[in-house]
Amino acid sequence: MNLYLLRHGIAVDSAESGVVPDAERPLTPRGRRRMLQIARAMSALDVSFDLIFSSPLVRAAESAAIVAQCMKLRNALKFTDDLMPGGDPRSLLRRLNQRRPRPKNVLLVGHEPYLSQLIARLVAGNDGLAMELKKGGLCKLKATALRWGQCATLVWLLTPRHMMRMADCSPGTK
């Protein structure tokens, strides 16, 4: 299974927006534009997804919807509380393992530090791998058997800047 982990795009600051609940913070206009560029870069990478799991928090849900729409995968988009901050990564892995047919390419859209901690657990087997997934950053892991602990290989990690440069160079974006 190829796991792609995407951190949501740039969201409004709760102090500036007047939006009190963290769960309701939407993407900024700049965040939406950048996420569209990132989705185009994913297309340029020639990746596709059998399943897109997203946190239901607004900023992650909007990010996932932009990717799903750009890649014409709206039916692949599902939401799970397991990807929320404080969500249960073990439950997430169980859900993925229980899917039939088993998906080959899965996009997980969520938040920090949850995503970095999940990457560390799957690659190193513990929380000792220090990293931070930037807003709009994308990571690819490859796993033959998905389980809690060391089971995956880090294939690549792209910053949002890398992704936007790829989108600028892809055919049909100018």
Question: Which pLDDT score, from 0 to 100, does residue 174 have?
Answer: 43
Q: Which residues contact 73 (CB under 8 A, 6 or more apart)?
A: 48, 49, 52, 67
Average confidence score pLDDT of the chain: 92
pLDDT in tens, 146-164: 999 999 999 999 998 888 7
pLDDT of residue 68 exceeding 50:
yes
Question: Which pLDDT score, from 0 to 100, does residue 2 have?
Answer: 97
What Rg, from alpha-carbon coordinates, does the chain have? 15
pLDDT in tens, 84-134: 999 999 999 999 999 999 999 999 999 999 999 999 999 999 988 889 899
Nearest to 5 by CA among 94, 121, 102, 99: 121
pLDDT in tens, 9-63: 999 987 765 656 888 999 999 999 999 999 999 998 889 999 999 999 999 999 9
CATH of domain 2-158: 3.40.50.1240
Q: In the chain, where are the structural domains located?
A: 2-158
Helices and strands of the chain, counted as H and E runs: 6, 6
